[in-house]
Structure 1
Amino acid sequence: MNELINTFNERKEELLSAIFEHLAISLSALLIAVVIAIPLAILLSQRKKLAEVVLQLTSILQTIPSLALLGLLIPFVGIGTVPALIALVVYALLPIFQNTYIGLAEIDPSIEEAADAFGMSRMRKLLRVELPMAMPVIISGIRTALVLIIGTATLAALIGAGGLGTFILLGIDRNDPSLTLIGAISAALLAIIFSGLIRFLQHRSGKATLIALGVICLGIGGIFFAQHNPVGNETVTIAGKLGSEPDILINMYKEVIQDEDSSINVELKPNFGKTSFLFNAVKSDQIDIYPEFTGTVLESLVKVPKSTADDLSPAATYKEANKLLKDQFEMELIKPMKYENTYALAMKKSEAQKRGITKISDLKAQQAQLKAGFTLEFIDRKDGYRGIQDKYGVNLSSVQSMEPALRYQAINNGDVDVIDAYSTDSEIKQYDLVTLEDDLNLFPPYQGAPLMKQEFADAHPKVVKALNRLAGKITEDQMVEMNYLVNVKKEQPAKVAHDFLVKEKIIGEEQ
């Protein structure tokens, strides 16, 4: 409990910002869904067959898994807030449409006849009789939709839309239950508070409820817009993938840029999502810069000519990656840092020394006695276990697929002997592991470098100059230590980044 309270105190400003993001996305989606679903239900209330078709359609849409829906939307609308809003609106349509339709359909026919007898027009009858009588059922549907939206909106963090999901994902990534609990509890409290608010307003008047929701949506949306659209100096937007290392790097980028030119406003978007999300965000100008790796560019982002050699040196890998990015996407990788965050095989240091294993080829002689825990992706990659089998002839006696965090727990508990790792993971130090030498050079070089559009680089020479201060800096041991400080010692990435830059005299002491 003390750790939870300490984490809350340390991150209350970030939490407040995430709550506003979460509410802005959720309430905006609710408002859009209300504007679509209620008029549509009113229009179809006298057309039963067509209404049934729409009900079936909205029911089918709601059965689509949220992650799948977000993935389907990305090629059409990119990443960020827009696909998150679309997905949330899709999930909110069914309860609002269904309740509005049922509320109108179940009005006593004798009341309808009485209204007609008084000579009421269709519109007057709708506004004075039908909607007031159906309003409790309609508000109930809105309440259900809002709770559903607030819960589902946590997934918006996967595509860079922010919100409380960033705390949940960060907690999972860093194996920090406190962060996960803060995100989950906050989302649950929001759902309870707003559900209770709607319930309270429901007993006053339906019109008051809709007006209150509209005012809340516009108010929170205005605050969110103001926070994310600073007026004045130019803004450079830098995003990072999930994890401590990208978080540290983007804070370094911010500090060196503002040290070069203090008039440049830098906005950071940490834990923005996976590689494809960030790459598409640069393509669509949603962000300007993010840290990428040379090997990832060649493995995942560009089409590599068949004539390209498989065993390029780090310098040649950077040169080829940068050339293909410019040719195919008009993007550029700034000069890379020194360290490589490549794949590696790791063992407990004591176990490796006892068995006399220092390099991957040493595994072959003892492969029948060794158990491995690999991530599912590593098992299936050509530069992973498949490559180890082909290039090294190593076929371990037992290979289990595991989630990234679980494989470290497994090797620490002695359940497995060998795991896959990234060479700068903090867990290497935390669990006293040793990485095995890749003596046949299976794993390609993965040097970190800022990626941006060529057009942006040409228009911002001061930004490029600032980022080049990091070229050739940061050793593998230094990156492991910085990740360790964030993941294990619970230091803030911004502080770790600042301390390194000052220590290495990349920036001045005062920032």
Structure 2
Amino acid sequence: MALPSKSTRRTIKALAGAALLTVSLAACGLDVNTGLPYTIKPGSIKAIPSVQGLKVTVGSKDFTENIILGYMAEMALSAAGADVVDLTDIKGSNSSRQALINAQTDVTWEYTGTGWINYQGNELPVPGGEQAQYDATAKADKEKNGITWLQYSPLNDQYAFAVTEEYAAKNNLKTVSDLTAFLKQKPDQSVFCLETEFTSRQDGFPAANKAYGYPVGTVKNFGIGTIYSAISQGTCQIGEVFTTDGRISGLKLKVLEDDKKAFPQYNAAVTMRTEFLDQHPDLRGPLETVTKAITNEQMVELCKQVDVDGRDAGAVARDWMVSKGFITTE
């Protein structure tokens, strides 16, 4: 996704000794941001005595939605009284995951499908819907890796294939099964624009191809931020998208229904090292307050504000948190 540069984003609080922290994290290939130009104060998320002054490092992956979620977590924890270190925009899922496991971060938003397929090494999603996928993922991760998944969110950001609305209408494409039948008749139209990671990850392109058997012609690898415009401009007929991305509506794209359920459920949830959470159990409340409130429809709009309208991700997260009454600002 097209993201604002690292230098344009800010952390929640500047910390004493931040320079030393930056050096140690930079040695691991991670960068700490600087301080926000506004102050976060409690709203419905109240100050918690046991959290006052507690240093909590929040990480995120490098796409708009996850960065917005990271900022929301930072603001919730700041309202509760924590000293928050911003480590959003870590490049790649595996790097973000390792930062959590290695205690470089303490809080990271994850997705149940990613946890089950990529981190646990399973090839197929768990049947039975969102709760079943969450339960299986959370149980396995806690037992094997000492990672606790907080309650999952209604936000379910699944992978999908998209084409332009015009292309879908012209070729009567509503589902991925429709697309498969169409490509078997016209294999010259099998041009996919995909992110490099999606091309190889087990819950991505291989999972869909295994379920549907569509012919794979040309695969063009792009950064996720440019795939949406590549579809819109006709660089490729089909592209990988996230179902909550605001550019889907902004660029008039048609998301094809995953009618064979090839892609797992991807409900968002905060993940933390079990040991850290056990030491600071009062962190759960502020984080799950945000978790319960965010939905796909709201996230589509928030991502649109960043990726289409060009707003800063931190400001978008702040305005949403204020609109919910979770925080106040000066």
TM interval, shorter chain, is: 0.7 to 0.9
Relative to 1, partners in 2 of residues 1:22 and 1:360: Cα closer, same or farther, differing over 3 Å? farther
Q: Using the alignment, how far apart are the partners of 1:255 and 1:348 within structure 2?
A: 37
In angstroms, what is the RMSD of aligned CA positions? 3.2
Name the TM-score, length of structure 2 as normaliser. Answer: 0.79
- Counterpart residue type for residue 192 of structure 2: A
Match of residue 225 from structure 2:
405
Decide which of 256, 278, 285 is 2:96's aligned counterpart. 278
Give how far 1:502 is off.
3.1
Relative to 1, partners in 2 of residues 1:241 and 1:382: Cα closer, same or farther, differing over 3 Å? closer
- SS for the counterpart of 2:263 is coil
Per-residue CA deviations over 1:164-208 (Å, capped at 9, x if unaligned) read: 9xxxxxxxxxxxxxxxxxxxxxxxxxxxxxxxxxxxxxxxxxxxx
Q: Using the alignment, how far apart are the partners of 1:425 and 1:373 within structure 2?
A: 16
1:78-93 matches, within 5 Å, as: 80-83=25-28
- SS for the counterpart of 2:293 is coil
Contact 1:22 1:163 in 2 (8 A): no
Match of residue 44 from structure 2:
none
Bigger helix share:
1
Q: Using the alignment, how far apart are the partners of 2:9 and 2:91 within structure 1?
A: 22
Comparing 293-302 with 433-442, greater Cα deviation is found at: 293-302
Give how far 1:385 is off.
3.2
Relative to 1, partners in 2 of residues 1:411 and 1:445: Cα closer, same or farther, differing over 3 Å? same
Contact 1:332 1:451 in 2 (8 A): yes
Match of residue 416 from structure 1:
236
Contact 2:117 2:202 in 1 (8 A): no
Contact 2:246 2:307 in 1 (8 A): yes
Structure 2 unmatched ranges of 5 or more: 35-51
Contact 2:33 2:86 in 1 (8 A): no
Contact 2:59 2:70 in 1 (8 A): yes
Give how far 1:332 is off.
0.3
Q: Using the alignment, how far apart are the partners of 2:76 and 2:32 within structure 1?
A: 25
Relative to 1, partners in 2 of residues 1:385 and 1:287: Cα closer, same or farther, differing over 3 Å? closer
Q: Using the alignment, how far apart are the partners of 1:312 and 1:333 within structure 2?
A: 19
Match of residue 168 from structure 2:
352
Aligned residues: 301
Name the TM-score, length of structure 1 as normaliser. Answer: 0.53
Decide which of 283, 293, 311 is 2:111's aligned counterpart. 293
Per-residue CA deviations over 1:348-379 (Å, capped at 9, x if unaligned) read: 11221222211111112311153332234333
Q: Using the alignment, how far apart are the partners of 1:411 and 1:344 within structure 2?
A: 13
Give how far 1:429 is off.
2.6
- Counterpart residue type for residue 80 of structure 1: L
Give how far 1:319 is off.
0.7
- Counterpart residue type for residue 161 of structure 1: D
- Counterpart residue type for residue 271 of structure 2: L
Decide which of 462, 474, 479 is 2:294's aligned counterpart. 474
1:330-341 matches, within 5 Å, as: 330-341=146-157
1:423-502 matches, within 5 Å, as: 423-502=243-322
Match of residue 343 from structure 1:
159
- Counterpart residue type for residue 265 of structure 1: D
Identity, % of aligned pairs?
24
- Counterpart residue type for residue 132 of structure 2: A
Relative to 1, partners in 2 of residues 1:303 and 1:353: Cα closer, same or farther, differing over 3 Å? closer
Structure 1 unmatched ranges of 5 or more: 1-6, 29-78, 84-158, 165-231
Give how far 1:248 is off.
1.1
Relative to 1, partners in 2 of residues 1:461 and 1:392: Cα closer, same or farther, differing over 3 Å? same
The higher relative CO (CA closer than 8 Å, separation ≥ 6) is in: 2
Quick check: 1:387 aligned with 2:210?
Answer: no
Contact 1:294 1:446 in 2 (8 A): yes
Decide which of 358, 361, 372 is 2:192's aligned counterpart. 372
Q: Using the alignment, how far apart are the partners of 1:239 and 1:332 within structure 2?
A: 15
Contact 2:246 2:304 in 1 (8 A): yes
- SS for the counterpart of 1:449 is strand
Give how far 1:341 is off.
1.7
Bigger strand share:
2
Relative to 1, partners in 2 of residues 1:248 and 1:24: Cα closer, same or farther, differing over 3 Å? closer
1:45-124 matches, within 5 Å, as: 80-83=25-28
Relative to 1, partners in 2 of residues 1:447 and 1:492: Cα closer, same or farther, differing over 3 Å? same
Decide which of 230, 234, 257 is 2:77's aligned counterpart. 257
Relative to 1, partners in 2 of residues 1:400 and 1:309: Cα closer, same or farther, differing over 3 Å? closer
- SS for the counterpart of 2:87 is strand
Contact 2:55 2:82 in 1 (8 A): yes
Relative to 1, partners in 2 of residues 1:334 and 1:475: Cα closer, same or farther, differing over 3 Å? same
Match of residue 238 from structure 1:
58
Decide which of 161, 184, 191 is 2:31's aligned counterpart. 161
Runs of 4+ in 1 over 6 A off after TM superposition: 21-25
Decide which of 136, 160, 165 is 1:320's aligned counterpart. 136
Contact 1:345 1:420 in 2 (8 A): yes
Give how far 1:325 is off.
1.1
Q: Using the alignment, how far apart are the partners of 1:438 and 1:412 within structure 2?
A: 20
Per-residue CA deviations over 1:385-405 (Å, capped at 9, x if unaligned) read: 333333223215544344433
- Counterpart residue type for residue 275 of structure 2: E
- SS for the counterpart of 2:60 is strand
- SS for the counterpart of 1:271 is coil
- SS for the counterpart of 1:416 is coil
Give how far 1:433 is off.
0.9
Relative to 1, partners in 2 of residues 1:333 and 1:464: Cα closer, same or farther, differing over 3 Å? same
